[in-house]
Amino acid sequence: MITQAGRSLLQSMTRYKVIPVIESRVQFSQILEHAQGRALLLRHCNLFDLASQLSSAYRSGYSIYVNVDHVDGIHPDAAGLHYLAEHLHITGIVSNHPKILCLGKQFGLETIQRIFTVDSTGLETALESVDREYTDVLDIAPALVIPYLIPNLIDTLPLPFIGSGMISTSQQVQRVLRSGASGVASPRPELWL
């Protein structure tokens, strides 16, 4: 039986608007010392190096999301996604690839589609490709463009969204949130609390 943490990303963001992006054991240990029950995003790390910390996080009520396009140790195929869900108790996955998100849904994973934005036309085109049946949340990157592009498109967004990429200050976080984002993902520990 697949047993992920019970909270969705959007539920986790009612209390914490910044989603910590974890890229090392040190960062993982640092965040586990703080508030429990929040969402974490793993990226640019080896999942098997973090296995014991993943177990601790799961027992402490964290919702763990894995950017399967940018993580070592697991291939985002059926066997890999099943392992993430069944053995590592991952709550959800992030990917640029709709096929991977569709596959993740088959294993009960929450899915976040990452969309890279260069301009409003590119964002509009990317939004047309979003399949709401297989995608729960959008991740628009870089987050710094959100205050400039989203206000004109907010009524056409098919799903709730977060921002990620290039955020370095709390003022930038606030601008992105005021533009309609449900949260912001950042690898900067000073923005997590």
pLDDT at 7: 62
Task: Give φ, ψ of 106 to 5 degrees.
Answer: -65, -20
Digitized pLDDT (tens) for each residue of the chain, 193 residues in all? 344 444 689 888 888 899 999 999 999 998 888 767 789 999 999 999 999 999 989 888 899 999 999 999 999 999 999 999 999 999 999 999 999 999 999 999 999 999 998 777 888 888 888 999 999 999 999 999 999 988 877 777 889 999 999 999 999 999 999 999 999 999 999 998 7
Q: Per-domain residue ranges for the chain?
A: 9-191
Write out the two tokens for 162: 């977060």
Angle at 63 between CA 71 and CA 170, to 5 degrees: 80
Residues 6+ positions from 142 with CB-CB distance below 8 Å: 116, 117, 163, 164, 165, 166
DSSP state of 120: H
Residues 6+ positions from 75 with CB-CB distance below 8 Å: none
Angle at 192 between CA 188 and CA 193, to 5 degrees: 140
Look up the pTM and report it. Answer: 0.92
Residue 150 near residue 140, CB atoms below 8 Å: yes
Q: Where are the beta strands (DSSP E) in the chain?
A: 18-22, 39-42, 63-67, 92-95, 110-116, 137-141, 161-164, 183-186
Burial of residue 20 (number of CB atoms within 10 Å: 0-12, 13-18, 19+): buried
9-191: in CATH 3.40.718.10: no
pLDDT at 82: 97
Give the Cα separation of 158 and 115 in Å (integer): 13
